[in-house]
Amino acid sequence: MKLQRIAECVGGRLSGDPEMEIVRANTLAAAEPGELSYLTLNEYREQALTTRASAVLVRSLVEGCPAAQIVVADPYLAFARAMQLIYPPVAHPPGVMSPSVIAEDASIGEGATVYPFVFIGKRTHIGRRTVIHPHVFIGDDVTIGDDAAVHSHVSIREGSVIGHRAILQNGCRIGSDGYGFARDDEGRHIKIPQMGVAVIGDDVEIGANCCIDRATLAETKIGRGTKLDNLVQVGHNVVVGEDCLLVAQVGIAGSSVLGHRVTLAGQVGVSGHLTIGDDATVGGQSGVTRDIPPDEVYTGYPAMPHAKWARLQRLLARLAASESPDDEPRP
């Protein structure tokens, strides 16, 4: 691919040979001729001076860089768009491959691909150009939109709705029963039937081995454009807004609501029946036990405003430094 085309597609200003051929992308340190890289952080600036890459996406021209440079406002975003050009989606042969089990009243959209060893239940609809990989279970009354990708060993339970262009990575579970029990007078746990559904919006990506529970009565919802990392648990009746980021091992208990563009860093736990406002961020391994207002950054356990948490850490460090040996607990 010509470098000029990449520059035009990412909206950048090219300094270098527009006819240069780019065939791959790589890091600054590992790149070879014919490859594109990017520079976002100053600590990697030295690598830009010695890189063997043919071209580098930069925020401003780097003096001494041997590669052609494309100046853009956001090199990381431009690199993502360039990657989509350099590595177009793999084409899949349309049709249903055997052995698969497809209910007679299921419908498969034009251009869709169903690989072997897939089960598709009654009254289920698979959208146009959607790809269902081997060893996928899709229950009754499921709807999957157009241009979606469902990878191997995914389970999509009855009644679930998957939006257009959604990506379900290997092994995720959509619409399994929520964790709902009532205790009787003898202390036994009586299962509450989970009769709701799980709804996954357009352009959502669900990472490997995530679990999205169905609602008790209504819907568990993942909003448009939200991205889940691997091993995320979303409890029943949870509503996640649009364009949220849920990083690995996040757990959200039942009936909590996340606004739009919320970021939960790795291993964040959210208690049930809480609300996290739009554009809020929660730091890694934090425990959310109360509502978080919009546009706030919270950290720690229990989660608190980040500035308060940072001050608390400084005070704890001073307290620890002020202790004498006599203050040490005795065995």
The residues annotated as belonging to the active site are 236
Q: Using alpha carbons only, what angle is made at residue 271 by residues 235 and 210, rounded to the nearest 5 degrees? A: 35
Q: What is the distance between the alpha carbons of residues 237 and 231, in angstroms, rounded to a whole number?
A: 19
Q: Left, alpha or beta for 325 (phi > 0: left; psi -120 to 50: alpha)?
A: alpha
Distances in Å between the Cα of 35 and the Cα atoms of 13, 23, 52, 73, 83 are 18, 6, 8, 21, 11
Q: What is the distance between the alpha carbons of residues 252 and 269, in angstroms, rounded to a whole number?
A: 6
- What residue has token string 């709705």? 161
Angle between helices 75-86 and 3-10 (to 10 degrees): 130
Helices (H), ranges, the chain: 3-10, 45-50, 75-86, 306-322
